[in-house]
């Protein structure tokens, strides 16, 4: 039991994005570099003002030599963690992926809850 918790949370705070991603991809750590690459890709696309659209996944998979299931597994975990969000662009009539601050908000909320609990 303790080793499962340690595998997810670790004994120390992550010092880089790869270590943070290891807490999300703790069962499949081999996806960490691919997930980081996907986050970087989404971030770059958003900086260009031409966001990464959901329907470009086939091209991304071919370019990065990853399977469709690995791509969707990574994306699902990143979305569930609050790191990536999807929104509809009514002008282009497409869904776009973007990095969100939801992950940070969730972590602040959890930290606040824990702080209140230990002070009760």
Cβ partners under 8 Å of residue 97, min gap 6: 42, 51, 52, 53, 54, 75, 84, 85, 86
pLDDT tens, position by position, 80-89: 999 999 999 8
Cα angle: 107, vertex 75, 12; to 5 degrees? 35
Q: Determine the pLDDT at residue 13.
A: 83
> In the Cβ-directed half-sphere of 58, how many Cα atoms lie within 13 Å?
1
- 34-119: CATH topology is Arc Repressor Mutant, subunit A (1.10.10)
How is the chain split into domains, by residue range?
34-119
Calpha distance 9→20 (Å, rounded)? 9
pLDDT at 29 over 50: yes
Q: What is the DSSP letter of 25?
A: S
pLDDT tens, position by position, 42-101: 999 888 877 788 888 899 999 999 999 999 999 999 999 999 999 998 888 889 999 999
Predicted structure pTM score: 0.82
Calpha distance 33→51 (Å, rounded)? 22
pLDDT at 2 over 80: no
């Amino acid at each position: 039991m303790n080793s499962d918790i340690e595998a997810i949370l670790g004994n120390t705070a992550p010092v880089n994005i790869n270590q943070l991603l290891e807490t999300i991809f703790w069962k499949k750590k081999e996806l960490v570099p691919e997930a980081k690459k996907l986050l970087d890709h989404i971030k770059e696309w958003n900086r260009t003002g031409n966001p990464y659209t959901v329907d470009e996944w086939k091209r991304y998979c071919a370019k990065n030599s990853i399977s469709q299931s690995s791509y969707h597994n990574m994306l699902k975990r990143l979305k569930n963690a609050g790191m990536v969000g999807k929104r509809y662009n009514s002008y282009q009539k497409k869904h776009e992926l973007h990095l969100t601050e939801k992950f940070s908000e969730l972590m602040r909320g959890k930290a606040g809850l824990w702080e209140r609990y230990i002070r009760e």
